[in-house]
């Protein structure tokens, strides 16, 4: 039998039929923490569980302050408002990210300006920033995509030169490090998400971290009905919402901080197995790391598939064949500006007068999203060495079949 007919999609036996470790994954520590909070603590305002989580998460992420928030998207909106973003201001975001990075900008009545990405890391390309900055730019928001850090030293230098704020979207970067320090507070602040897929999760949840007390106090206000830290209960300074985190997700999250290192080490080891196998395969490109990178969270394992090495077989054919072999890979994001939400109704969004997202074309984002990116979720890296070897074997089987 030739390599081609061996593929499961052609009727052959798949490499793997076992599922990968499921996610989210309850632990005894999480159950204990949850029950303790349920029976002993306030469930909302004034909850010791929320305060404890904020303190421990700030410590864990090498920052002075943390504020727990209901979701990552709410954390983005709150941080933009606290950074002083006003109607009509511009916020630079990468075009290759989760939609929330850009919708939070629209929700702050501001204009998302899409930056193209660096094909080697899939992060915002700092070399393009100077050309995108205008006198309306208030914030640059790099995203640490897949938990692989953006070039935050270079981006921060550009922001400093122009007198604008950098806020990191670290929604996928729990435990990610830059120059030996965890990401999130390199600029004005940074946000995290604890939604179900994330490496630390409470089903839903978010946080902002910062070393800037004035900024975090403003975040508190926008998160908490416009209240003033240390102010009266019915004293409202800003147009804020209720984006507080309840005590139960906080209890779940605190319990996970302890076990993060163990999970990270497992993901690191399995990612290293994949890296060393894939780098020998011509036509598969691993994500590169900027020199400042000291730890990657591996929220996603992303690599690039270059069809010219595989008889012009498309990335979609590669995904289909690999899924047939029992490996749940998928294509990931589309270029954000193509989403229907950006075909905007000017009557509803008057500050977008003159902005036409439909005219945008960003060549690297489009090539990566349309043709090259292959994604694997973080829980596929949480299994045994044999699980990682199955992934490698399945990829080798498919590329061999495609090369014949
Ligand atoms: C890069 C990025 N930014 C923002 C978010 C929004 O977080 P949430 O889903 O908690 O609102 C997510 C996650 O979903 C994300 O991956």
Res 4: pLDDT: 67
**Distance from residue 235's CA to the centre of ligand 1 (Å):** 31
For the beta carbon of residue 234, count every other beta carbon within 10 angstroms. 7
Residue with tokens 């004293």: 235
**Distance from residue 311's CA to the centre of ligand 1 (Å):** 36
| Phi, psi (degrees; rounded to nearest 5) at 363 | -60, -40
By most ligand atoms within 8 Å of CB, the mutation choice from 71, 94, 100, 332 for ligand 1 is 100
Residues in the chain: 404
Three state DSSP letters for the chain: CCHHHHCHHHCCCCCCCCCCCCCCCCCHHHHHHHHHHHHHCCCCCCCHHHHHHHHHHHHHCCCCEEEEECCHHHHHHHHHHHCCCCCCCEEEEECCCCHHHHHHHHHCCCEEEEECECCCCCCECHHHHHHHCCCCEEEECCECHHHCCCCHHHHHHHHHHHCCEEEEECCCCCCCEECCEECCCCCCEEEEECECCCCCCCECCEEEEECCHHHHHHHHHHHECCECCCCCCCCECCCCCECCCCHHHHHHHHHHHHHHHHHHHHHHHHHHHHHHHHCCCCCEEECCCCCCEEECCCCEEEEEECHHHCCCCCHHHHHHHHHHCCCCCECCCCCHHHCHHHCCCCCCCHHHCCCCHHHCCCHHHHHHHHHHEEEEEHHHHCCCHHHHHHHHHHHHHHHHHHHC
Give the residues of the chain that fall short of pLDDT 70: 1-5
Cα separation, 191 vs 143, whole angstroms: 10
**Distance from residue 300's CA to the centre of ligand 1 (Å):** 13
By most ligand atoms within 8 Å of CB, the mutation choice from 24, 72, 143, 207 for ligand 1 is 72
Res 162: pLDDT: 98
**Distance from residue 2's CA to the centre of ligand 1 (Å):** 44
Nearest to 199 by CA among 109, 271, 137, 99: 271
Answer yes or no: is the C-beta of 193 below 6 A from any ligand 1 atom. yes
On whether the CB atoms of residues 120 and 95 are closer than 8 A, the answer is no
Which domains are present in the chain? 28-256 (3.40.640.10), 260-403 (3.90.1150.10)
Answer yes or no: is the C-beta of 98 below 6 A from any ligand 1 atom. yes
Res 1: pLDDT: 44
Q: Can you tell me which atom of ligand 1 is nearest the CA of 97? A: 1
Tokens in use for 321? Answer: 């064949």
By most ligand atoms within 8 Å of CB, the mutation choice from 142, 171, 183, 199 for ligand 1 is 171
Answer yes or no: is the C-beta of 97 below 6 A from any ligand 1 atom. yes
On whether the CB atoms of residues 355 and 244 are closer than 8 A, the answer is no
Answer yes or no: is the C-beta of 263 below 6 A from any ligand 1 atom. no
- Cα dihedral: 96, 315, 332, 334 (round 10): 50
Res 119: pLDDT: 98
Res 5: pLDDT: 67
Give the closest residue (by CA) to ligand 1 atom 7.
Answer: 72
**Distance from residue 32's CA to the centre of ligand 1 (Å):** 27
Is the whole-model pTM more than 0.95?
A: yes
Cα separation, 135 vs 114, whole angstroms: 16
On whether the CB atoms of residues 42 and 257 are closer than 8 A, the answer is no
Answer yes or no: is the C-beta of 171 below 6 A from any ligand 1 atom. yes
CB burial of 336-354 (b: ≥16 within 10 Å; e: otherwise) equals: bbbeeebeeeeeeeeebee
Answer yes or no: is the C-beta of 101 below 6 A from any ligand 1 atom. yes
Cα separation, 140 vs 165, whole angstroms: 6
Q: Between β-strands 137-140 and 206-210, what pairing exists: parallel, antiparallel or unpaired? A: unpaired
Answer yes or no: is the C-beta of 332 below 6 A from any ligand 1 atom. no
Cα separation, 353 vs 345, whole angstroms: 10
Cα separation, 299 vs 146, whole angstroms: 5
């Amino acid at each position: 039998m030739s390599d081609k007919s061996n593929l499961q999609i052609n009727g052959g036996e798949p490499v793997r039929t076992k599922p990968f470790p499921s996610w989210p994954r309850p632990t005894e520590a999480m159950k204990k923490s949850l029950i303790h909070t349920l029976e002993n603590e306030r469930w909302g305002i004034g909850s010791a569980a929320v305060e404890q989580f904020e303190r421990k998460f700030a410590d864990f992420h090498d920052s002075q302050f943390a504020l727990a928030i209901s979701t990552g998207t709410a954390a983005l909106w709150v941080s933009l408002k606290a950074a002083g973003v006003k109607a009509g201001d511009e916020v630079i975001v990468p075009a290759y990210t989760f939609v929330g990075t850009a919708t939070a900008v629209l929700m702050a009545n501001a204009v998302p300006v899409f930056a193209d990405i660096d094909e080697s890391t899939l992060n915002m390309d700092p070399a393009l920033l100077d050309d995108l900055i205008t006198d309306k730019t208030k914030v640059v928001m790099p995203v640490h995509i897949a938990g692989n850090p953006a070039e935050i030293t270079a981006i921060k230098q550009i922001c400093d030169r122009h007198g604008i704020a950098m806020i990191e979207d670290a929604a996928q970067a729990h435990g990610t490090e830059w120059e030996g320090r965890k990401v999130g507070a390199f600029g004005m602040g940074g946000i995290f998400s604890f939604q179900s897929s994330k490496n630390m999760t409470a089903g839903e949840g978010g946080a902002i971290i910062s070393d800037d007390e004035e900024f975090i106090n403003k975040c508190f206000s926008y998160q908490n009905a416009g209240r003033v830290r240390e102010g009266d209960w019915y004293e409202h300074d800003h147009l804020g919402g209720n984006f507080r985190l309840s005590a139960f997700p906080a209890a779940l999250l605190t319990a996970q901080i302890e076990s993060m290192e163990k999970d990270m080490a497992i993901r690191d080891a399995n990612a290293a197995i994949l890296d060393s196998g894939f780098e020998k395969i011509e036509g598969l490109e691993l994500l590169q790391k900027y020199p400042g990178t000291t730890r990657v969270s591996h929220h996603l394992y992303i690599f690039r598939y270059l069809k010219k090495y595989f008889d012009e077989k498309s990335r979609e054919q590669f995904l289909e064949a690999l899924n047939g072999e029992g490996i749940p890979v998928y294509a990931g994001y589309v270029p954000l500006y193509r989403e229907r939400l950006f075909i905007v109704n000017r009557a509803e969004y008057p500050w977008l007068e003159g902005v036409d997202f439909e005219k945008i074309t960003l060549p690297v984002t489009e090539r990566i999203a349309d043709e090259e990116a292959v994604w694997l979720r973080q829980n596929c890296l949480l299994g045994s060495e044999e699980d990682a070897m199955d992934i490698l074997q399945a990829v080798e089987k498919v590329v061999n079949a495609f090369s014949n």
